[in-house]
Amino acid sequence: MTDCEKRHLIFGIKRAAPIVLGYVPVGFALGVLAADAGLTPLQTGMMSLLVYAGSAQFIAVSMLSAAASYPAIIATTFLVNLRHLLFSASLSPYFKEISRKLIPFISFFITDESFAVSITDLRERNLSYTYLLGLYVTSYLSWVLSTVIGTAFGNLIPDTKALGFDFALPGMFMALLCMQIKDMKAAFIALIAGALSVFFLYVLPGNWNVILAAVITAMIGVLMEK
């Protein structure tokens, strides 16, 4: 590893800090629900290792508690995670530049949060693949471990809300949004996307709000250029 790659690795790990702050309490919470649904720490851990998608895992665990059929759980997981299509498409030019060989590996780690941080950083500066490894793998490990610990020791974990952890992810999204808003047009786009997202959350079941709001708003943005 060159010096530059080492620096980028450390930078990636540091940039994962807010994601870890957000994932750990949510992972604990999922673990507690999973234990209630009758899953062992190993079963929860395997799910986190293989699927690694917070909202889909919450839905899967609640469907397991309700004794839903496995095909229904898989179909729901698919729909809830379709928004990753957009993230993957947006990251593709950077992935291509950084390392085409690693695409099958690094694309596994795309989540709402890892996308948000990496797309902001990759737009700002040239980074090597080690940055992505540092950011993505650190976030991944924090999720897997916290869901396992939550399942095993859920009842012993103190109330993380009292410590302000519930603001970690909203705070991170806000900071990243501020870095992206560079003119009035971007501010306008942000307002429309936010309003549409809340609207779709109400009128449509099943986590369609993010993908629909983002696609419609990005189309409005393109049309405004003409």
Burial of 112: CB neighbours in 10 Å, binned 0-12, 13-18, 19+: middle
State yes or no: residue 218 binds other proteins (CB under 8 A). Answer: yes
Residue number with CB closer to other proteins (1 or 95): 95
* Residue 111, phi-psi category: left (phi > 0), alpha (psi -120 to 50), beta (remainder): beta
| Span near other proteins by CB under 8 A; candidates 2-10, 108-116, 125-133, 147-155 | 108-116
**Under 8 Å CB-to-CB from 38, ≥6 apart: which residues?**
64, 65
Taking the least distance from each CB to other proteins, the nearer of 156 and 162 is 162
Q: Provide, rounded to whole angstroms, the least separation between the CB of residue 130 and other proteins.
A: 18
CB of 159 to other proteins, least distance (A): 11
Q: How far is the CB of 208 from other proteins (least distance, A)?
A: 11
Binding other proteins (rule: CB under 8 A), the pick from 9, 47, 132, 135 is: 47
Contacts to other proteins from residues 64-93, by CB under 8 A: 70-71, 73-75, 77-78, 81-93
CB of 119 to other proteins, least distance (A): 5
Shortest reach from residue 131's CB to other proteins, in Å: 15
Distance CA 74, CA 61 (A): 12
Neighbour count for residue 221 (Cβ, 10 Å): 15
Q: How many Å apart are CA 133 and CA 64, to the nearest integer?
A: 32
96 binds other proteins (CB under 8 A): yes
| Cβ atoms of 224 and 203 closer than 8 Å | no
Among 5, 7, 58, 119, binds other proteins (CB under 8 A): 119
Contact map string, positions 7 to 36, toward other proteins, x by CB under 8 A: -------xx-xx--x---------------
| Residue 171 in the binding site for other proteins (CB under 8 A) | yes
**Least separation in angstroms between CB 36 and other proteins:** 16
Distance, in Å, from the CA atom of 15 to the CA atom of 44, rounded to the nearest integer, reads 26
